[in-house]
Structure 1
Amino acid sequence: MADSSILSRRGFIAGSAALASAASLPMPIWATGSMARAGAGGASKGFGTLDGDDIRLTVANSHFAAGGRSGHAVTVNGTVPGPLIRLRQGRTVRLHVTNTLEEDTSVHWHGLLVPFQFDGVPGVSFPGIRAGETFTYEIPVRQAGTYWWHSHSGLQEQQGHYGPLIVDPADESGARYDREIVLLLSEFTPLHPHQVMRNLKVAEGYFNFNKQTATQGDMPVADRIDWGRMRMDPRDISDVTGSTYSFLVNGHAPMDDLQFLFTPGERIRLRIINGSAMTFFNFRIPGVPLTVIQADGQDVRDVTVDELQIGVAETYDLVIEPRAGAHTIVAEAMDRSGMGIATLTSTPGERALVPALRDPVTLTMDDMGMASMAGGAHAGMDHSAHGGSMDGAGMDGDAMDVAAMDHSMRDMSQLPPSANGVGVDMVAPMPVDRMDFPGLGLDKVSHRVLRYTDLVARAPNPVRAPERSLEIHLTGNMERYMWSFDGQKFSAVSDDPIRFGFDERVRVTLVNNTMMAHPIHLHGHFFELVNGADEAHQPLKHTLIVQPGGKATFDLTANEPGDWAFHCHLLYHMHAGMMQVVTVRPFPVAEGA
């Protein structure tokens, strides 16, 4: 039965509202974060809500405008983002998706535990939804929390094919808030996504307008020359930037003046979803502490911060208690090329100051997998990376031989033999655990910033030692814009899946040998971050940011049988090859069979 249900993977690459709570404060349409018209014949900004056990979605072509930019969009039920789907834990839902496009489409229910044939990845778990057809997903709703949905066909996600998904618990007697606001962060560009991809293939820094000049910034000229010799750019933070993106909150650009109304004294739950294609956001509300209560839909012990970085495809639930007045909601792109903006206010029409963009982020040698040292930039580096011994006396106090460093970054010996070839152009020589790193650009701020090491599961997980270990390298060739696992670009024709036995417990270490942060997502499962929490309280997540030149480790119990996508959630990285299939076998035998 298991083998006969496995579908061909050949089509993967080619096909590959804020809500008012029980507090009944009247919410005018401009204050709800939903349904603002974008113009005659165009997609609406924001989203309405669909709930119940039988839901219908229609995928269509449309036109969308935001932030002074306009262009083609792929909409679901006529809006960008698509509708908020609201489900109830313990029920079974039927979701009917009708495709009116002239190409295949799909919907992946990001973070939901579903039977693998309803996971929505063409060529991996089902054939896709053909033009003119309707496909019905039938899903027993097993968990509560904040999730989202998006297309897994081609690059439709970039064009607007995504939306929020909330699962309410079967028992809501323990609610800890008075009002709820859903904030879906994303971006829009009028460029067709295939043109974006072509531009990145021409030059990986095509959209980067934050490059340093010979006299700009505080980096010494000698250091800039060193980076040049390595053929690397210390300002290469994001592949696609505000030069072409308008950053959105619930489909609204900053100039739209999106506002959310509240009553002073309320405890407000913010459900934050990063539904972007390529953008990490640094989220803050200046002057308002943020208490994190969930990560990726799973309960964590309360931790209060002033800012957090949310990677592509992650979700965080926060509780805030804002004072009377207006407060600016800031979702600043990690590379600081733009931001999404909204206002939280107790008085309709009142606004707060919008903070200026902070200075652009500049990579350091630590970000290249070279540990810091006192009096020099690279002392923690493995001496063997330079082909010989090196004690402290053998190093210049302020610098090292760049030619030797450049050579070490092209030493492929730490990768599997299959990783050699054109798909890898450099290797961070000394990756270290960076689970305590708050995110690029947030390591030098003076206020409290969330780190993965702050996350502790609220309820205990079963304690079980891993049966084996697995190491996976995140690799790439920046100049050719190729991305991969272990140097192997995903091929729908000749792939070799990552295999787990059903219910096997595996400790997986992701080693980022590149200079970019990657949000790695495993379909169909939650895994436990090995982040310093005790074994029973390692936090559960489905998406994990692996920092440049860093390692990140998780424990996985492979208890969801089937074929599952495993990939970088930066859309163009996945499309360029940083993807694999995880196969969990055998299928358990049903009782009475």
Structure 2
Amino acid sequence: MPTVSRRGLIASTAALAAAAALPTPAWAKGGSMRHVKKGFGTYTGEDINLAIAGAHYATGGRSGHAIAVDGMIPGPLIKLREGQDVRLNVTNNLDEDSSIHWHGLLLPFQFDGVPGVSFPGIKPGETFTYEFPIRQAGTYWWHSHSGLQEQMGHYGPLVIEAKDGSDDRFDRDYIVLLSEFTPIHPHAIMRKLKVGEHYFNNSMMTATEGDMSGGERRMWSGMRMNPRDIADVSAPAYTYLINGHGPADDLEYLFTPGEKVRLRIINGSAMTFFNMRIPRVPMTVIQADGQDVEDVEVDELQIGVAETYDVVVTPPDGSHALVAEAMDRSGMGIASLTSHKGHKAVAPSLREVPTLTMADMGMAGMEGMDHGSGGMDHSMRDKNLVPSDVEVGPGVDMIAPMPVDRMDFPGLGLDTVDHRVLRYTDLRSKAMNPHRMPERTIQIHLTGNMERYMWSFDGKNFTSVTDDPIRFGFDERVRVKLVNDTMMAHPIHLHGHFFELVNGDNPHDMHQPRKHTVIVQPGSSATFDLTADEPGDWAFHCHLLYHMHAGMMQVVTVRPFPQEA
């Protein structure tokens, strides 16, 4: 695996000097662009120019301000080939700083695209050149890492073809990029969440609704929590999109009966976990986060924000609904997988809203017990339960008393369905991973105060830990245990690396799946093994945009830089 020396890192920043000489397309200068193109074109080659600008987006009777790249939402599909070099010249025509992060790519850290961590960002009117070799293959994506621009349309797909030609074995190859649109400005959403975290929740349970014991009801009341606290922002604030198209746009994916169709599913949303299915059409999972896995046939899968799954389907003649249902079942993205152009598939009805349980509060096995009228509230905040490395303060509202590993949990609402649902324990790497036992173990708590909308790692907001990063030695092998002390699922993403999920009981398993993002279920733990072989400073954060913005982010630093040969 190539490494980058300190001298190489310094020299490679010379790409900045070429910024002013790059041409800017006429439409991107000022306000000449009005309405975006839904969907995306395809850009290939070793030199690619991209321009970020304000735009106007509309779907299904809704419209509002947006941010587009080259006039498209999503932005263009960047299609590269394993082994090539690429230069991506990104011009910022906004009146605020911007950036692009190449999500899931292995690259020198100063081209990772995180302002304040790996580079200063792209100022208005300036161009930044990202330049790096392509060292992998698979399905990835790109997005802004500046402010809340990602919510406004600043994202797009990225596909890297394998140099061995293995991608040619499918008859059709489609992108399925899931996201949301809202006419509400993201800073207004953030303000509303800070005022009241239930502002956008239309599924709250009433005092008499649901099938709970009196003790459970008192317990939820005592903690000032609601078992329908599933999604911070959802429909009707959001319209759910597939490739930039809302349900009213009648997006089609065409096929001929008998064809093998590859669907590259990317969750490029700001805040939404999607449950993905094609009713009566099984899906064979072949990749997770761009990495090959052994074939797993399922009927549905949950995809967290920032994850990708590649699936293969062989649909029969007809029109089939491609359904991306929000986890809280408030709405869905919909498209037609059809062998008859112009034929719209019938969308299924939204399913019943799921309800959180004691397991989602780190109290697995305690369901049905009567906990009295306040004792549980005390125990959830008992300082005796707080680990020594968690900073106690207003940002920590609860500590899960009995968190357990739930790698086999398929996702909220999918544990009771009568069909096959993907679980992390189903995933096995197709390639054999080099076997190295961890040299040390660290534990990181995912913490928050939902009532105040404060999110953090170990009780520390990102703004207070910038001088105290998580430190790994170069090439160190570390086991990282994430403990979710909150009652919301968090998709945790590490930049610049892949890690191996510890998703079974065998400590010598060399087929653990490699991922860059892992969902940590509410009140639960998740563990991965990491070889810190990419030197530099890397963002590590929850990929729920407003959680990251509220402080659930850290910096991982890998030192020293390897010596030059």
**Shift in Å, 1:216:** 3.6
CA distance 1:220–1:255, change in 2 (3 Å): farther
CA distance in 2, matches of 1:341, 1:415: 44
Per-residue CA deviation, residues 271-303 of structure 1 (Å, 9 max, x unaligned), is 000000000000000000010000000000000
| Aligned partner of 2:56 among 52, 63, 86 | 63
**Shift in Å, 1:320:** 0.5
Contact 2:465 2:554 in 1 (8 A): no
| Aligned partner of 1:294 among 262, 266, 287 | 287
Q: 2:114: which partner in 1? A: 121
CA distance in 1, matches of 2:77, 2:166: 23
The answer as to 2:416 corresponding to 1:444 is yes
Q: Which amino acid aligns with 2:203?
A: N
The answer as to 2:156 corresponding to 1:163 is yes
Q: 1:490: which partner in 2? A: 462
**Shift in Å, 1:125:** 0.3
CA distance 1:319–1:467, change in 2 (3 Å): same
Q: Which amino acid aligns with 1:446?
A: D
Q: 1:224: which partner in 2? A: 217
CA distance 1:580–1:2, change in 2 (3 Å): farther
Within 5 A, what are the aligned runs for 1:133-172? 133-172=126-165
Q: 1:411: which partner in 2? A: 382
Within 5 A, what are the aligned runs for 1:428-507? 428-491=400-463, 494-507=466-479
CA distance in 2, matches of 1:362, 1:561: 43
Q: Could you say what the CA RMSD is over the residues aligned between the two structures, in angstroms?
A: 1.8
Per-residue CA deviation, residues 110-145 of structure 1 (Å, 9 max, x unaligned), is 000010000000010000000000000001000000
Q: 1:567: which partner in 2? A: 541
Q: 1:318: which partner in 2? A: 311
Secondary structure in structure 2 of the residue aligned to 1:226: helix
Q: 1:546: which partner in 2? A: 520
The answer as to 2:214 corresponding to 1:243 is no
Q: TM-score, normalised by structure 2?
A: 0.92
CA distance in 2, matches of 1:257, 1:579: 38
Q: Which amino acid aligns with 1:423?
A: G
The answer as to 2:393 corresponding to 1:400 is no
Q: 1:277: which partner in 2? A: 270
Contact 1:2 1:586 in 2 (8 A): no
Question: How many corresponding residue pairs?
Answer: 537
CA distance in 1, matches of 2:186, 2:514: 32
**Shift in Å, 1:64:** 0.6
Within 5 A, what are the aligned runs for 1:1-40? 2=6
Within 5 A, what are the aligned runs for 1:356-375? 356-372=349-365
CA distance in 1, matches of 2:487, 2:323: 26
CA distance in 2, matches of 1:417, 1:125: 26
CA distance 1:230–1:359, change in 2 (3 Å): same
**Shift in Å, 1:428:** 1.3
Q: 2:509: which partner in 1? A: 535
CA distance 1:585–1:343, change in 2 (3 Å): same
**Shift in Å, 1:99:** 0.4
Contact 1:265 1:323 in 2 (8 A): yes
**Shift in Å, 1:4:** 12
CA distance in 1, matches of 2:253, 2:156: 19
Secondary structure in structure 2 of the residue aligned to 1:232: coil
Q: Which amino acid aligns with 1:514?
A: T
CA distance 1:570–1:160, change in 2 (3 Å): same
Q: TM-score, normalised by structure 1?
A: 0.88
Q: 2:15: which partner in 1? A: none
Per-residue CA deviation, residues 519-565 of structure 1 (Å, 9 max, x unaligned), is 00000000000001652101100000000000000000000000000
The answer as to 2:324 corresponding to 1:331 is yes
Q: Which amino acid aligns with 1:193?
A: P
Q: Which amino acid aligns with 1:564?
A: W
Secondary structure in structure 1 of the residue aligned to 2:191: helix
Identity of aligned residues (%): 69
**Shift in Å, 1:439:** 0.4
Q: 2:532: which partner in 1? A: 558
Moved more, 122-131 or 528-537: 528-537
CA distance in 1, matches of 2:35, 2:387: 49
Contact 2:219 2:371 in 1 (8 A): no
Moved more, 107-116 or 524-533: 524-533
CA distance 1:173–1:189, change in 2 (3 Å): closer
**Shift in Å, 1:463:** 0.2
Contact 2:86 2:131 in 1 (8 A): yes
Q: Which amino acid aligns with 2:360?
A: D
Q: Which amino acid aligns with 1:60?
A: A
Moved more, 87-96 or 410-419: 410-419
The answer as to 2:71 corresponding to 1:78 is yes
Q: Which amino acid aligns with 1:233?
A: N
Contact 1:214 1:221 in 2 (8 A): no
CA distance in 2, matches of 1:205, 1:221: 23
CA distance in 2, matches of 1:365, 1:96: 50
Q: Which amino acid aligns with 2:380?
A: M
Contact 1:433 1:551 in 2 (8 A): yes
Gaps of 5+ in 2: 11-31
CA distance in 2, matches of 1:406, 1:495: 34
Q: Which amino acid aligns with 1:202?
A: V
Within 5 A, what are the aligned runs for 1:244-263? 244-263=237-256
Per-residue CA deviation, residues 298-342 of structure 1 (Å, 9 max, x unaligned), is 000000000000000000000100000010000000001100000
CA distance in 1, matches of 2:210, 2:7: 58
**Shift in Å, 1:219:** 3.9
Secondary structure in structure 1 of the residue aligned to 2:472: strand
Contact 1:49 1:83 in 2 (8 A): yes
Per-residue CA deviation, residues 352-377 of structure 1 (Å, 9 max, x unaligned), is 2211000111101111111125xx53
Q: 1:187: which partner in 2? A: 180
Contact 1:185 1:340 in 2 (8 A): yes
**Shift in Å, 1:3:** 11
